[in-house]
Amino acid sequence: METNKKLIGHDDLLYQLIELHKKNILPKKILFTGNKGIGKFNLVNHFINFIFSQNEEFKYDLKNLIINNNNRSFQLFKKNIHPNIFLIKKNKDKKYIDISQIRDMINFQNRSSFNNNMKFVIIENVSDLNL
């Protein structure tokens, strides 16, 4: 999973999401839409890293909008093993996201979160879902 450690072009949206989070009024579900390659996935990575890194040694650099490469949550997310983040993306050999991935996501949602932190489900490309 590749992410740009510097956020470019979505500063205002990131600050708005952070304010909603700080005020404890962040919506339960957020849908980002737009053309492929404009940075939606990168924005989500930065926002999630901001949230999880607050209680970690290498915090998110909010002034420069940079993810610290040594951040524990970033390393776990990069390896797709973060206990509070579930990533769904189409497998390379499939035409659509597999129903078993959705079942796994439902199981993830039904489990309690690690350290009572927020849980996130990210569907990398919603258009890869089928009916």
pLDDT tens-place string over residues 7-37 = 888 999 999 999 999 999 999 889 888 888 8
**Whole-angstrom distance, CA of residue 14 vs CA of residue 51:** 11
Instruction: Give the model's pLDDT for residue 4.
Output: 64
pLDDT tens by residue, 91-121:
889 999 999 999 999 999 999 888 888 999 9
Query: For the chain, what is the mean pLDDT?
Result: 90
Can you name the residues that pair with 6 across neighbouring β-strands?
A: 66
DSSP state letters, 36-56: TTSSHHHHHHHHHHHHHHTTS
**Residue 2: band (very low, low, confident or very high) from pLDDT cuts 50, 70, 90:** low
**Whole-angstrom distance, CA of residue 16 vs CA of residue 124:** 21
**Whole-angstrom distance, CA of residue 61 vs CA of residue 46:** 10
Instruction: Give the model's pLDDT for residue 3.
Output: 59
Classify residue 58 as left (phi > 0), alpha (psi -120 to 50) or beta. Answer: beta
